[in-house]
């Protein structure tokens, strides 16, 4: 019996096998800015606890390119306004915004930062857009970590597209409550537990 002899053929691409890609410089810069957001947290009220929850290992927004916080406005390009802004804090917030280098973005975290919340009084600013321009509004009192991550992803999409208009995170439906998805519940509810 004769042995089978393997033959290999080598296909040469034009250009000697060296690949190349073409793109616009603006697209590369937008992609780099999208995944390298250095945040400055301006935390003033109770939403700060939810902000810490989002930065904890369970939700970890550093995996989306918004890494460690910078506590100097000159080193950051994303301003997180977290919580209530009073009239006395307004000039400080404006000064911090003006010290940030361009390009810069602002994310309003919670109802108080977005529209003043339930504080309908003279000492509270009715939304940070009265002081500085805002790119993304994340509503909620406090907003859930999932909504905050949605706001961060919305901001990244705006950076990639070069969109300068304000945007609001839309409410989502809980997939566990949708019967069409056919999700399996792993834990039994407290009602269905057998009594001991």
Q: Which domain holds residue 109?
A: 37-173
Q: Which of 85, 91, 11, 1 is nearest to 42 (CA)?
A: 85
Q: Is residue 168 domain-resident?
A: yes
pLDDT digits (tens, 9 = 90+) for 9-68: 665 555 555 665 666 777 777 777 777 788 888 888 887 888 888 887 787 777 777 777
**118: three-class secondary structure by DSSP:** coil
Q: How far apart (Å, rounded) are the C-alpha atoms in residues 81 and 36? A: 19
- Distance from the first to the final alpha carbon of the chain: 75
Q: Is residue 169 domain-resident?
A: yes
CATH of the domain at 132: 3.40.50.12280
Q: How far apart (Å, rounded) are the C-alpha atoms in residues 140 and 144? A: 7
Angle subtended at Cα 118 by Cα 114 and Cα 124, rounded to the nearest 5 degrees = 70
Q: How far apart (Å, rounded) are the C-alpha atoms in residues 175 and 149? A: 17
For residue 189 the two structure tokens come to 């509810």
Q: Is residue 193 domain-resident?
A: no
pLDDT digits (tens, 9 = 90+) for 99-136: 888 888 898 888 888 887 777 778 888 888 888 898 88
**pTM exceeds cut of 0.85:** no
> How many domains is the chain built from?
1
């Amino acid at each position: 019996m004769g042995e089978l002899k393997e033959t290999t053929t080598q296909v040469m691409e034009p250009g000697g096998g060296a690949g190349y890609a073409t793109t616009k410089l603006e697209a590369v810069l937008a992609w780099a800015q999208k995944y390298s957001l250095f945040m400055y947290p301006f935390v003033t009220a109770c939403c700060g606890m939810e902000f810490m929850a989002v930065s904890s290992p369970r939700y970890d927004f550093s995996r989306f390119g918004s890494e460690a916080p910078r506590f100097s406005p000159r080193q950051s390009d994303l301003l997180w306004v977290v919580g209530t802004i009073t009239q006395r804090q307004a000039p400080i917030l404006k000064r911090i915004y003006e010290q940030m280098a361009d390009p810069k973005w602002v994310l309003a975290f919670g109802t108080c930062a977005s529209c003043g919340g339930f504080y309908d009084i003279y000492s509270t600013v009715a939304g940070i857009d009265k002081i500085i321009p805002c790119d993304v509004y994340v509503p909620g009192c406090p907003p859930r970590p999932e909504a905050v991550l949605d706001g961060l992803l919305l901001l990244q999409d705006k950076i990639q597209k070069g969109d300068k208009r304000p945007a609001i995170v839309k409410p989502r439906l809980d997939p566990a409550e949708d019967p069409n998805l056919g999700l399996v519940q792993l834990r039994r509810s407290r009602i269905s537990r057998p009594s001991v």
